[in-house]
Structure 1
């Protein structure tokens, strides 16, 4: 194996091997063995910039995503704006209907008059408008506190 600056051979895990000869450490001195495996961390645990896990008793909340907002507002009538790139017949379309279902990559709306349902892909979604207040639970907030805002 390679012999760099008088160091012993390196094993496949990246830890230094001195084969019982402490004097063979060369200029590495007090570095000791290196670990190639980071510590295991629970998913969503906060970490410091140094890489240590911050212990917390507070629950970790999910982030806000548009499909979650749609799921909280099923049954409401909305107007949904979509853009379809590279389509020479129609580049943008507007759909109005009752929000029936929402998934990670799609939403389903229905027309009240005809009952026709349309599956729309989120990849083309631009924005939506609603005529009534929306239920929105911000991450980290328990319940849906009433917020009074004046629109000017």
Structure 2
């Protein structure tokens, strides 16, 4: 099977592999409840922690440069640039990528 990634460049299916970047891990765990922490610039008064925004919610979507989080209590949606993402805590086990057999994971 051939897949054209860019004009003039072909990739075969066995070479395609999801990588463990944060946005890919967030996408794998869409809809799982968690707490997400973002540090945003000069946003005085967001929370009692200054410029840290804490959102209790679920991942709706995630891309290379952004995450869309739906707050559970209010159903309010946030679009955060990934550059401000600090970390997330989930309430249940996370889905993750299968590691390549024979290689340390």
Q: TM-score range by the shorter chain?
A: 0.5 to 0.7
Q: Which of the residues 23, 34, 38 maps onto 1:67?
A: 23
2:92 corresponds in structure 1 to: 132
Normalising by structure 1, what TM-score? 0.49
**Alignment: residue pair count:** 87
Higher strand share: 2
Query: 1:9-48, aligned counterparts within 5 Å?
Result: none
Normalising by structure 2, what TM-score? 0.68
Name the CA distance, whole Å, in 2 between partners of 1:43 and 1:128. Answer: 36
2:73 corresponds in structure 1 to: 113
- Which of the pair has more CA radius of gyration? 1
Q: Which of the residues 89, 93, 112 maps onto 2:53?
A: 93
Structure 1, unaligned runs of 5 or more: 1-41, 45-57, 142-152
Report how far residue 102 of structure 1 moved. 0.8
Q: Which has the higher contact order (CA 8 A, sep 6+)?
A: 2
Instruction: Check 1:115–1:98 CA distance in 2 against 1; reply closer, same or farther (3 A cut).
Output: same
- Give a deviation string over 1:6-25, Cα, whole Å, max 9, x none: xxxxxxxxxxxxxxxxxxxx
Structure 2, unaligned runs of 5 or more: 1-8
Give yes or no for the alignment of 1:103 onto 2:63.
yes
Name the CA distance, whole Å, in 2 between partners of 1:113 and 1:84. Answer: 22
Instruction: Check 1:138–1:126 CA distance in 2 against 1; reply closer, same or farther (3 A cut).
Output: farther
Native 8 Å contact 1:61 1:139 kept in 2: no
- Alpha-carbon RMSD across the aligned residues, in angstroms, is 2.4
